[in-house]
């Protein structure tokens, strides 16, 4: 699916996230042609696939928010299974999430701080505020 998403992103100019969703729809559409899959299952499958992309974003409050997602456990189980087959980065990511959800609040905060320290690229960047438009002055006659 990742390869298909990259092809779509390159060909159409869509963002990777949007291309990933198009690729997942293509895959499910192909499957529905041969087997009947109820919508309640395809919705869950899409949700779990979307979560896979979000697992790598662990900075700030994202990791804590991720655990609040109703399908977190199903998505995590799928991530672990992917880690067994794909290995390396995915397996390491699955291990991090396993430790994160087993840890207490202090351990979780430490883990997120370590990720934040490792990601120095955005820490020095300041957000730009949009400039306010000045109100036109009333003409005096």
Give residue 12's pLDDT.
87
Residue 118 CB burial class (10 angstroms; 0-12, 13-18, ≥19): exposed
Cα separation, 84 vs 90, whole angstroms: 8
pLDDT digits (tens, 9 = 90+) for 12-62: 888 888 888 899 999 999 998 999 999 899 999 999 999 998 999 999 899
111, 100: one domain: yes
Q: What range defines the domain where residue 96 resides?
A: 39-118
78, 57: one domain: yes
100, 33: one domain: no
Among 46, 66, 64, smallest CA distance to 54 is for 66
Give residue 14's pLDDT.
86
24, 43: one domain: no
85, 56: one domain: yes
Tokens 């067994």 found at? 84
30, 46: one domain: no
Cα separation, 66 vs 55, whole angstroms: 8
18, 60: one domain: no
């Amino acid at each position: 699916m990742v390869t298909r998403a990259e092809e779509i992103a390159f060909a159409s100019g869509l963002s990777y996230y949007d291309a990933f969703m198009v690729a997942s729809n293509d895959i499910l559409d192909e499957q529905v042609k041969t087997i009947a899959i109820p919508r309640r299952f395809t919705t869950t499958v899409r949700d779990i696939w979307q979560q896979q992309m979000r697992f790598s974003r662990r900075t700030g409050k994202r990791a804590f928010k991720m655990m609040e997602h109703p399908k977190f456990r199903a998505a995590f189980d799928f991530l672990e299974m992917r880690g067994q087959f794909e290995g390396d980065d995915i397996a390491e990511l699955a291990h991090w999430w396993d430790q994160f959800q087993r840890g207490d609040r202090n351990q979780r905060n430490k883990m997120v701080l370590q990720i934040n320290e490792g990601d120095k690229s955005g820490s020095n960047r300041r957000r730009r505020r949009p400039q306010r438009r000045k109100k036109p002055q009333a003409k005096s006659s």
